[in-house]
Amino acid sequence: MVMKVNLIGQTYIDHIFNIDDVVYGDTNKLDNVTSNLGGIYNISKNVPIMDYNHITTGKTEATIINDIKKSIRTSFTRRISNVIIFEKFPHAQWTHIAYLDDIEFYNKIKPQTPYSIDFCTTQDRIPYLEIMKNSDLIFDSRERSYLYKSINIDTPIILHEPNRIDCIINNELSCSIDIEPIKNISVNGAGDIFAGYFIFFYYKDHSLIDSMKKASKKTKIILKGIRDEKI
């Protein structure tokens, strides 16, 4: 039976500008420009091994600059609308919320399943502490690890970046893996794809280290395909 997942988050309309090598303060030539749905849709589009219900919390427009040579991205967002989320969701085995810090009425979300949350900004995490404590997994960029210095909870906090993934439990490093970064790729959606595969593998065997390794490997495969196909 295929695992059913509720995906909760803003409907992001991504306008993606791909540039081979961004030179700041100068004129840059665009490699190509695309528009598509991002956020939770990065999971459902790229992790086809699960079945999904999309539950929108509103609409956001995002302008994304992909620096291909450096394999980094910068985004600018503009909120278009918000939706109040009700407490009853479709039947599922798991719920994933992305991104908790970009949802206006996040305190209305009360999943009836095991659930994970993802963050995307540098906002203080303390206001989200209660929902973090009750969650089963937390995802964030390792670049924002300083936001978790005062967060002492037993929920695994998965901090990822291109060359390393850490798992923090009770404010201590529980496990980690080193990764060989991929060069010259578009990394847009990488964190979402990684989270999607991590959830799938973790739900199957509850091994944090194996989920890190397998999700990282699958994410690399997807990103290489994205670059090759000029998406």
- The fraction of the chain above a pLDDT of 90, given in percent, is 65
pLDDT at 66: 81
pLDDT at 227: 39
- 153 pLDDT above the threshold of 80: yes
pLDDT at 84: 78
* Confidence band for 198, pLDDT divided at 50, 70 and 90: very high
pLDDT at 186: 65
Q: Do residues 84 and 108 touch, judged by C-beta distance below 8 A?
A: yes
76-128 pLDDT per residue, tens: 989 999 887 766 899 999 999 999 999 988 988 999 999 999 999 999 999 99
Query: For residue 139, what are the β-bridge partners?
Result: 118, 158
Average pLDDT over residues 138-158: 97
Q: What architecture (CATH level 2) is domain 8-228? A: 3-Layer(aba) Sandwich (3.40)
**Domain spans of the chain, in order of start:** 8-228
Phi-psi region of 48 (alpha: psi -120 to 50; beta: other; left: phi over 0): alpha
pTM for this model (two decimals): 0.87
